[in-house]
Amino acid sequence: MEENKNLVREFYNTLWNRWSFEVAETLLAENIVFRGSIGITKKGRSGFIEYAKLIRQAFPDFHNTIEELIAEGNKVAARLTYRGTHLGEILGRGPTHRPIEYAGVAIFTIEDGKISNVWVLGDLHNLVQQIST
Q: What is the pLDDT of residues 95-131, one digit of tens each?
A: 999 999 999 999 999 999 999 999 999 999 999 999 9
CA 86/CA 94 separation, integer angstroms: 8
Does the CA dihedral 13-93-54-123 come out positive or negative?
A: positive
Structure confidence at residue 90 (pLDDT): 95
Question: pLDDT band at 75, cuts 50/70/90?
Answer: very high
Q: What is the pLDDT of residues 31-65, one digit of tens each?
A: 999 999 999 999 999 999 999 999 999 999 999 99
Structure confidence at residue 108 (pLDDT): 98
Complete domains list, the chain, with CATH: 2-131 (3.10.450.50)
